[in-house]
Structure 1
């Protein structure tokens, strides 16, 4: 017997999630003193000053368990998003909510889940882990959403459809009214899970988010994260807003205390710091416009984006440019793992980081990498 024989056959072929390269790794590899990371779509201004103060005060309490169910956080989220608190589930990142949705709604060996290709790797991993078929529909050649094709892939055994809006890695987004019409077209049993990790960055956000329309449809789940605009990627906090009956079932099986005490306190503080949120949003919108214009001048094809990142096709081989940028202390995201080796994705940084990235791009392209 091999040691791996003790592991489920479906798990043996798994590959772990591949995060972006770390700043420490690149510093050590190339002997650099300054590294700019524009690979993981993090907040360009860091964390809210209010969050930092709250975390410092809460440090003495980490020996205590958080309150079961995180009622204070849930109430704050419900008020912030104008939804009933019975419809809110907080999780250890939105990844946990995705995992719970698959486990709670899908029958292994019978149910299927539908999503576009490429899509967030967690959709692929968690359906496979749970023994659920994932049906994927290609995006259009310009990375648009083929909603008729997505609908055609559904049948009476489709438990869920995942739709990321704005999408990653392209930044493409469609108005929420189109999403609402699509939700109403689905089979009676099918849930539409709209992952809105980047929805706050759309212009105007209210036209693209399903949250203002949540009460208009009974088969929609909306996912939001604190990892992007709110600047809490390292604390892992996400939420699902869903019909109350579904929220009740997720809470029955969610592991206890999955949202830790510091994440809970930081989340509530982040909701209150509206000045920081506005400054972060303005930084991203300003930087997105500037970066798109300057990258176009450098000969890149830049795809329209409603997110806090840009996808681009450079005038030189993308993977060579990716390595050339690393040597210059700039980390972006190569999209080979998405099946898009000719493309790169760059997060919007602060003004200084954007300038350093553009200077490195200009130098690398002019020198042929």
Structure 2
């Protein structure tokens, strides 16, 4: 008897709510819109990246490099030679790196642990591979990592644990002592994925990236992106680094000709633009101070942040709040979808954008 096509659909790929990225700024009757909803670079993009893009545009009729080796060599330089080029893997955005990791390690029925509120692709992408999703929420009210509950949730089917520092959308981070303890206690047959795409903005004394842990041989993969600090969100390029053993394994599923020529050249140019990177970090850190002082003065509830955004708990329902600001030319993002119902994420902009935000907030009823 003939069966319908649905009979061969994978059960874990039945329609569910998909990840929705930040929206583009709309036309608003000539009113200037300050887009503080997608954590984009407040200064735009690196001038050296722009020069590289223009030069690369003359050769888009030619296939790009077959491998990512030139960008990996540039990353070795950026990391001061502390890692080998074989320890880096590049892809079309940090999100694709997440997908690649799950594709490499997850079979149907395996378990993935993450901690909401967090970046939605951890759960959405793991569903694509039939993973059982284990959510160990961050502890309220400070959104700190619940190490004991994560360790207690680990079973023989656990393959991947996602950690984020600084975390999107909370802006919180994992202190070094906490990460030290966690990595010493987690079983050696589990991959820890540390999403550190906002690491350049973290200045806490006890903040730590994944670098020392990878050098020590921990089974940790650190994910990075060129979308934030380097201003290349439109080029969709990211990378990760890990031990040589893990990186070599991941490279088995790295597609040839994966990176567009323009993205590779722009990323290499951006890595060389030290002045732009320093100015970006300075702008974010100064904006963080300006907005936290303004929020305190206005009585806006927010969480201290180590990233280029704030999580706020508005006095209005989240969509009323975002609509109120949108009517005044400021675009921000509700983050119920990220596991933070009622909360709103606000990107730190340049001084003009930050002042426009404060002016709008002053008009709240």
Q: Which residue of 2 aligns with 1:124?
A: 123
- Call closer, same or farther: CA 1:313–1:31 in 2, change over 3 Å: same
Shift in Å, 1:131: 0.8
Paired residue secondary structure (1:207): coil
CA distance in 1, matches of 2:30, 2:205: 39
Shift in Å, 1:67: 1.4
Shift in Å, 1:145: 1.0
Q: Which residue of 1 aligns with 2:327?
A: 327
CA distance in 2, matches of 1:77, 1:22: 30
Q: Which residue of 1 aligns with 2:200?
A: 200
Q: Which residue of 1 aligns with 2:260?
A: 260
Deviations 1:194-247 (A, max 9, x none): 000111111158832121342113311111111111111110111110121221
Cα contact 2:116–2:137 (8 A) shared by 1? yes
Cα contact 1:199–1:205 (8 A) shared by 2? no
- Call closer, same or farther: CA 1:92–1:206 in 2, change over 3 Å: farther
Paired residue secondary structure (2:285): helix
Q: Which residue of 2 aligns with 1:21?
A: 23
Runs of at least 4 residues of structure 1 off by over 6 A?
none
Name whichever structure is richer in helix by fraction: 1
Paired residue secondary structure (1:208): coil
Q: Does 1:49 align with 2:47?
A: yes
Cα contact 2:213–2:220 (8 A) shared by 1? no
Shift in Å, 1:157: 2.3
CA distance in 2, matches of 1:14, 1:258: 29
Q: Which residue of 1 aligns with 2:211?
A: 211
Deviates more, 1:257-266 or 1:331-340: 331-340
CA distance in 2, matches of 1:329, 1:180: 44
Q: Which residue of 2 aligns with 1:189?
A: 189
2:59 maps to which of 58, 61, 68: 61
- Call closer, same or farther: CA 1:271–1:295 in 2, change over 3 Å: same
Cα contact 1:180–1:210 (8 A) shared by 2? no
Count of paired positions: 360
Normalized against structure 2, the TM-score is what? 0.94
Listed as ranges, the gaps of 5+ residues in structure 1 are none
The RMSD of aligned alpha carbons is 1.7
Within-5 A mapping of 1:1-369: 7-23=9-25, 26-27=26-27, 30-81=28-79, 82-109=82-109, 111-142=110-141, 143-204=143-204, 207-363=207-363, 365=364, 368=365
Shift in Å, 1:98: 1.0
CA distance in 2, matches of 1:70, 1:63: 19
Shift in Å, 1:15: 2.6
- Call closer, same or farther: CA 1:280–1:205 in 2, change over 3 Å: farther
Cα contact 1:106–1:132 (8 A) shared by 2? yes
Paired residue secondary structure (1:69): coil
- Call closer, same or farther: CA 1:241–1:133 in 2, change over 3 Å: same
